[in-house]
A and B are shown apart, each in its own frame.
Chain A
């Protein structure tokens, strides 16, 4: 575990050494803040975060491939992966370390976004349990997004390609929900069950159900597993 934390700590620090952490924070809080300002100043404004959480999930979709694109691809491009992988660390420890480093940045972003419900509570009486459920949902979505982005970064040695690949996979899980409306029967059911938006729906409303929790955790574990296999595969080339 110490080795995992060493890698995670290095990764988090490097986000703050480069402009990455600041750009991501500004981007996320800026867009969410804009939407927040527009909604709370409308005449029918309510102390309700449902819309905000959907915005946050959408911004997370745009943001996470940028956070994760360099995680493993940059190491491959600069050759520093040689030093990392000749140290007495398991491939799974490398993947988990990188993953936790990116997750830590995402959690910091979410902590920053607490300004929205706090502002709301100063002027109204929001349902804190619903907000908790919403944040749990956004966190689970973020965990899955980052795992998928990390997988993309493990496949290609080019950062931009890693980001694009990350977007492609995420958009697949995002857009497949539309099939639900277009087709009947099994296809529609499958599409509905693996759609990110469908699975997030309940959290936004303040409902915590086990099914979407299991969905997001499974997606995360699967993507991390593929990342480990991809890293192992890198050795044989």
Chain B
């Protein structure tokens, strides 16, 4: 449904993306992952015909985004990164305006309006002025307009940015619920988010695609150690040596203030043993938790590896 070949974009002399090849199949949910300024938004803006590429081609639902852009835009529901809504309009009014822009008929508008207001939990806010809504509700309005004309393809730029944890869960569930019926491409810089919602992840950095796989395979491939963070009230002098002596522990890093990061080999479950030892030694266990692998870690891993190969 989405296909890019050799997509390149220059802003003046600055190259935002280079030779981006990607394809998203029908009904797939794909996460587009990368740190800020990696080229995610640029790619999405090209796909939605907001800006033309400097080189390469892109098609959405079989329509070229440059030469056949009205048709390709018709098949896309787009949630831009910054909530670019008209703040002086009421929610229902705004959605009706969007329906007009997409040439929807009266009956169709009425039916879809009811559906999106319900799906996005906006029924009670339908008559509110968008400018008075919280960020979370504005994001829902953005999603509602993207879904309004029932497009086969959804392009969502950072759909959960700025939301509180509850809202994030709601939005993620909403997106997961769209699987199968829609082809979804969503960008994020949060790895767990991609893991939770996407079937496949494409990682972009410095404008180039550096990895592409299922979230599980990707993390398994990258992860060589699991890290546990422990906080101690009264760490003794022997903490580091005692922990390193355990066979499963690869390394211990003192982070200061009684915090230690313990790297353990994959698949070993040593948290209970570590806790036991700490209690036995009387170091005063305050906290023990696994450290989630962050996107930054993935990047350091992927980029250093690549450089290593070269």
Q: A82 vs B47: C-alpha distance in the bound complex, in angstroms? A: 13
Contact call A2/B100, Cβ cutoff below 8 A: yes
B80 touches A86 (CB 8 A): yes
Partner of B74, one of A10, A81, A82, A88: A88
Complex Cα distance, B97 from A7, in Å, reads 8
Which of chain A's residues 158-206 have a Cβ closer than 8 Å to chain B?
none
Question: A87–B78 Cα gap in the complex (Å)?
Answer: 9
A14 CB contacts on chain B under 8 angstroms? 86, 88-89
Instruction: Mark out the residues of chain A between 83 and 109 whose CB falls within 8 Å of any chain B CB in the assembled complex.
Output: 83-90
**Which B49-72 residues sit within 8 Å CB-CB of chain A?**
49-52, 70-71
**CB <8 Å contact, B88 and A6:** no
Q: Could you show 13 A-B contacts with beta carbons less than 8 Å apart?
A: A2-B103, A6-B97, A13-B89, A13-B93, A79-B82, A82-B45, A82-B80, A83-B78, A87-B73, A87-B98, A88-B73, A88-B103, A89-B70
Q: Report the minimal beta-carbon distance from A20 to chain B, rounded to whole angstroms.
A: 11
Contact for A78 among B49, B76, B84, CB less than 8 A: B84
How far apart are the CA atoms of A25 and B103 in the complex, in Å? 32
The answer to whether B139 has its CB under 8 Å from any CB of chain A is no
Q: Is the CB of A5 within 8 A of B74?
A: no
Residues A235 and B100 in contact, CB atoms below 8 Å apart: no
Please name the 7 residue pairs, one residue from A and one from B, whose CB atoms are nearest each other, closest first.
A6-B100, A79-B84, A86-B48, A88-B74, A88-B73, A87-B101, A80-B84
Q: How far is the CA of A137 from the CA of B293 in the complex (A)?
A: 71
Given contacts A2-B100, A83-B84, A87-B102, 19 further A-B contacts (CB under 8 A): A3-B101, A5-B100, A6-B100, A7-B101, A9-B97, A14-B86, A17-B88, A80-B86, A82-B50, A82-B80, A82-B82, A83-B80, A83-B145, A85-B49, A86-B78, A88-B70, A88-B101, A90-B70, A236-B51
CB distance A3 to B50 under 8 Å? no
Known: A10-B89, A236-B52. A86 touches B73 (CB 8 A): yes
The answer to whether the Cβ of A18 comes within 8 Å of any Cβ in the partner chain is yes
Q: How far is the CB of A8 from chain B (nearest CB, A)?
A: 10
Say whether A81 contacts B84, CB under 8 Å: yes
Chain A positions within 8 Å of B133 at CB level:
none
Q: Is the interface of A mostly helix, strand, loop or mixed?
A: helix
A84 to B48, CA, bound (A): 11
On B, residues with C-beta under 8 Å from A are 11, 45, 48-52, 70-71, 73-74, 76, 78, 80, 82, 84-89, 93, 97-98, 100-103, 145
For A6, the closest partner residue in chain B by CB is: B100
Q: How far is the CB of A14 from chain B (nearest CB, A)?
A: 5
Q: What residues of chain B lie closer than 8 Å to A83, measured between beta carbons?
A: 78, 80, 84-85, 145
CB distance from B165 to the nearest CB of A (A): 26
Contacts of A10 in B (CB 8 A): 86, 89, 97
When distances are taken between beta carbons in the complex, the residues of chain B under 8 Å from A87 are 73, 98, 101-102
Measured in the bound complex, the distance between the Cα atoms of B45 and A131 in whole Å is 52
CA distance A80 to B84 in the complex (A): 4
Residue in A9, A13, A86 whose beta carbon sits within 8 Å of that of B76 in the complex: A86
Instruction: List the A side residues contacting B48 at CB < 8 Å.
Output: 86
- Distance A89 CA – B97 CA, assembled complex (angstroms): 12
Taken together as a complex, chains A and B put the C-alpha atoms of A2 and B98 apart, in Å, by 12
User: How long is the Cα–Cα vector from A9 to B96 in the complex, in angstroms?
Assistant: 11
Whether A88 contacts B102 in the complex (CB less than 8 A), given A236-B51, A236-B52, comes out as yes
Q: How far is the CA of A54 from the CA of B70 in the complex (A)?
A: 45
Give the docked Cα–Cα distance between A82 and B93 (Å): 19
